[in-house]
Amino acid sequence: MSVDTKTAIEVRGLAKRFGDVEAVAGIDFDVRDGELFGFLGPNGAGKSTTINVLIGLARSDAGTIRIGGIDCSTNPKAAQHLMGVVPDESNLYPELTGFENLCFCGALYGMARRDRESRARDLLEQFGLTEAGGRKFGGYSKGMKRKLTIAAGIIHSPPILFMDEPTTGIDVASARQIRQLVAELNRGGTTIFLTTHYIEEAERLCQRIGFIVKGRIVRTDTVQDLMRRTDGRHVVQFAVSSGAARLCESIAAEFPALQCQAVSDTAVRVESPEPVRIGPLVRSIEDSGAEVTEARKLQPSLEDVFVEITGIEAGVMKQEREKAKMGGGA
């Protein structure tokens, strides 16, 4: 099955309220055919609400959605034929084996027995789960569950795949494997709509990214264009013994051209449009009574762009990442 149009997903004026809360406030965006589109934002920004409306698990209050050229408000079931969904939780059936789960998901899309069994075997092999295929899903590790959930999402070879936080809460090795699988799927021609709050993940995988904050898309661009904002910026991070906030105040007073930020009590981050001279800064910090244990030049990242565009403090994103990493981490 292939999508006829050049735009795989077209969203116009999409709005959704839950009582007094405006979850999604009239957003517009397009995802091109064959693209891996990242949808980034902090918790509560409207990512999951948007994805739920797109896949048909929630109704919009306003706006239009076209998936593969099909108007979802008039023909949601036809649109569901074109899409695969990988939810943020592994929601397969614990009492069925991995193989049975995949076959069952294939049957939901009307696949004939022979086709779904053959495809299930192929996917188990592709995802490194052949040996586990005969075991009950309930006994899988978190990483294996995520992999099988992704396999279930693509059992019917959908041209468009929605992935909601695919690497949240799993161990580093599994997250890495999943990112490789996502990239492979996209190289194979699948359009992927990926929501995540791992900025590095989006930077590594996605061709274009939309930033959503408080239900509004604040910027949509290619990763290269977004990163261009950081061209000519110089960042140095100092590891200090203590009192980073106090040190920032004294640096700001002594070097007004520099932007200084206390990343933690023992880390000071300095930014400048000009190359940063480290010597005078180290002397200034040491004159203030603190010891410098390390000075490191940092490459500006997509996280810096995100912070600049959204105005959300890096600390907030860091907290969210750490909260997500409680179960493992990507």
Q: How far is the CB of 111 from other proteins (least distance, A)?
A: 7
81 sits near other proteins (criterion: CB under 8 A): yes
One residue of 26, 44, 56, 63 binding other proteins per CB under 8 A? 56
Residue 97 DSSP label: B
- Total residues in contact with other proteins, by rule CB under 8 A: 28
Distance from C-alpha of 100 to C-alpha of 122, rounded to nearest angstrom = 14
58 makes contact with other proteins (CB under 8 A):
yes
Question: Is-contact 103 120, C-beta < 8 A?
Answer: yes
Alpha helices (H) in 1-141, listed in sequence order? 47-55, 76-82, 98-108, 113-126
Interaction of residue 77 with other proteins, rule CB under 8 A: yes
Stretch that binds other proteins, among 50-58, 245-253, 309-317, 320-328 (CB under 8 A): 50-58
**Alpha-carbon distances of 210 from 45, 167, 229, 324, rounded to whole Å:** 12, 19, 15, 21
Q: If we measure between CA atoms, which residue out of 194, 207, 190, 205 comes closest to residue 40?
A: 194
168: contact with other proteins by CB under 8 A: no
Q: Given the rule CB under 8 A, which of 29-37, 88-96, 163-171, 233-241 is the region that contacts other proteins? A: 88-96
- Contact flag: residue 62 with other proteins (CB under 8 A): no
Q: At 286, list the tokens.
A: 């040491």
Nearer to other proteins, 89 or 184 (CB): 89
User: Using the rule CB under 8 A, which residue among 2, 20, 74, 95 binds other proteins?
Assistant: 95
Q: Which window, 108-116, 207-215, 245-253, 290-298, contacts other proteins (CB under 8 A)?
A: 108-116
Q: Identify the residue among 44, 69, 104, 237 touching other proteins (CB under 8 A).
A: 104
With contact defined as beta carbons under 8 Å apart, do 266 and 240 qualify?
Answer: yes
Q: How far is the CB of 115 from other proteins (least distance, A)?
A: 10
Q: Does 105 bind other proteins (CB under 8 A)?
A: yes
Provide DSSP, 269-289: EEEESSPPPHHHHHHHHHHTT
Task: Provide the β-strand partners of residue 17.
Answer: 22
In this complex, which beta carbon is closest to other proteins, that of residue 99 or of residue 306?
99
Query: How far is residue 50's CA from residue 194's CA, in Å, rounded to a whole number?
Result: 11
User: What span, in angstroms and rounded, lies between the C-alpha atoms of 229 and 178?
Assistant: 29
CB 41 to other proteins: min, Å:
20
- Residue 145, SS3 per DSSP: helix
In the bound state with other proteins, the residue whose beta carbon lies nearer, of 83 and 312, is 83
Please give the residue ranges that form the binding site for other proteins (CB under 8 A).
18, 55-59, 77-78, 80-81, 85, 87, 89, 91-96, 104-105, 107-112, 152
